[in-house]
Structure 1
Amino acid sequence: MKTPLKFLAFGLITLVVASCSTPTNKTEEAGAVADATPKGQASVVDDESAKNILQVAASSPDHTTLVAAVTAAQIEHVLVNAGPLTVFAPNNAAFEKLPAGTVENLLKPENKAQLATILTRHAAPGSYDVAALKKMVAKGRTLYMATGDYLEVTVDGDDVLINGCKIIGTINTSNGIINVVDQVILPK
């Protein structure tokens, strides 16, 4: 009788161990919308290291639409690379300003390339905080974007605008800068 009990105990232990899984990072643990460390990308996840651009965006309740768009376009790898990179990140309210159905349409698999182009227009190689952007304006320069476009940077009082979109906040990350903007940057 002891032998069947050993097999039963061993089977239960095996079942319990096999059914348990350890989250791979904090965003999975927290149940975030997107995994902030795409497969194949190196990333440090602890309580002391600065978060990368994707990790910061994924942890922001104001950027769920942006993170969903980045995931649908499958460009997460860009936001976790070493950088430096500056991202002009539209908040959820910015996406809500688009015509009805625009976001839903762009999130469809058949529109992945168009969505990736729109999102890439929100990224610039290098680190550009508000002070650096103001210096560009003073020198009469435009900002080179990852799409190969040059966007106009302007200053209106204390406000800095990129292609007419107002920067409403800046966040430093481990691989660059996030400038939160109040509109989606679309081609003019």
Structure 2
Amino acid sequence: MLAVTTAALALAIGGCNKTDNTNSSAPDQPAQAAKAAGDQTISAALDKNGRFYQAAHSAGLDSTLAGPGPYTVLVPKDDAFSKVDGALKDAANPENRAELTRVLTYHILPGTVLIEDLGKAVDNGKGKALVQTMNGQTLTATKDGAKVVLTDAVGNKATIVDGDQKRSNGVVQYVDTVLMPAAASKAPAKS
């Protein structure tokens, strides 16, 4: 399922670049993008005092975000964390690591996904597009005017407020809300 949805998103986003021939890019665009991104990884570029980085560090995801990727990371602004409870409130508590990891991997998309790519996928999807996350669940992308809005599994809406910050292993998109995955399913106890 993950591979199918990821492949579908890649095809949808890849197809976006072929719809408008008036805005075609030079063949050496990947090399230019790599130059623009420099050699700084997503992990290295995140604010070490920021709430997202501190939570990622507590969950051990900072080393993942320093890896080869590519990843697209949806980083909630610090003030968004004041509106959440649970594992994100007490990220340093080792007992919260599994839940923290589940929530944070909901903020990571496989591959490099730019704001324009999401917008085109929404347009091609007649107003919405499903976006696969690294935790196996999806977000629903829509548009509010020119802004891309991501809706999580519980109905929270996060607007991308700043983004396309390219790094050597992907891209960072800043959102105004912490996204929450569907509740973790618990297997019934066997008697």
Coarse TM-score class (shorter-chain normalised): 0.5 to 0.7
Alignment match, 1:45: none
How far apart are the structure 2 equivalents of 1:104 and 1:118? 12
User: In structure 2, what residue type is equivalent to 1:105?
Assistant: D
Of 155, 168, 182, the residue aligned with 2:176 is 182
Alignment match, 1:52: 41
Alignment match, 2:134: 146
Where in structure 2 are there 5+ consecutive unaligned residues?
Answer: 1-36, 152-156, 183-191
Q: Deviations over 1:98-151 (max 9, x none)?
A: 24x763334311110100010000000011111000011112231111011121
Alignment match, 1:165: 158
Between the two structures, name the one with larger relative contact order (CA 8 Å, sep ≥ 6): 2
| SS of residue matched to 2:174 | strand
**Contact 1:106–1:114 (8 Å) recurs in 2:** no
**CA apart distance, 1:54:** 0.6
The structure with the larger Rg is 1
Of 38, 62, 73, the residue aligned with 1:76 is 62
| TM-score, with structure 1 as normaliser | 0.67
User: In structure 1, what residue type is equivalent to 2:174?
Assistant: V
| SS of residue matched to 1:54 | helix
Q: Deviations over 1:25-63 (max 9, x none)?
A: xxxxxxxxxxxxxxxxxxxxxxx943110111135x6xx
User: In structure 1, what residue type is equivalent to 2:181?
Assistant: P
Q: Deviations over 1:68-101 (max 9, x none)?
A: 10111111222011111100001111112224x7
User: In structure 2, what residue type is equivalent to 1:165?
Assistant: A
| SS of residue matched to 1:142 | strand
Evaluate the alpha carbon distance shift between residue 150 and residue 117 of structure 1 in structure 2; reply closer, same or farther with a 3 A threshold.
same
Q: Percent identity?
A: 30
How far apart are the structure 1 equivalents of 2:74 and 2:89? 21
| TM-score, with structure 2 as normaliser | 0.66
Q: CA RMSD in A?
A: 1.9
**Contact 1:128–1:177 (8 Å) recurs in 2:** yes
Evaluate the alpha carbon distance shift between residue 110 and residue 82 of structure 1 in structure 2; reply closer, same or farther with a 3 A threshold.
same
Runs of 4+ in 1 over 6 A off after TM superposition: none
**Contact 1:127–1:177 (8 Å) recurs in 2:** yes
Where in structure 1 are there 5+ consecutive unaligned residues?
Answer: 1-47
How far apart are the structure 1 equivalents of 2:158 and 2:43? 21
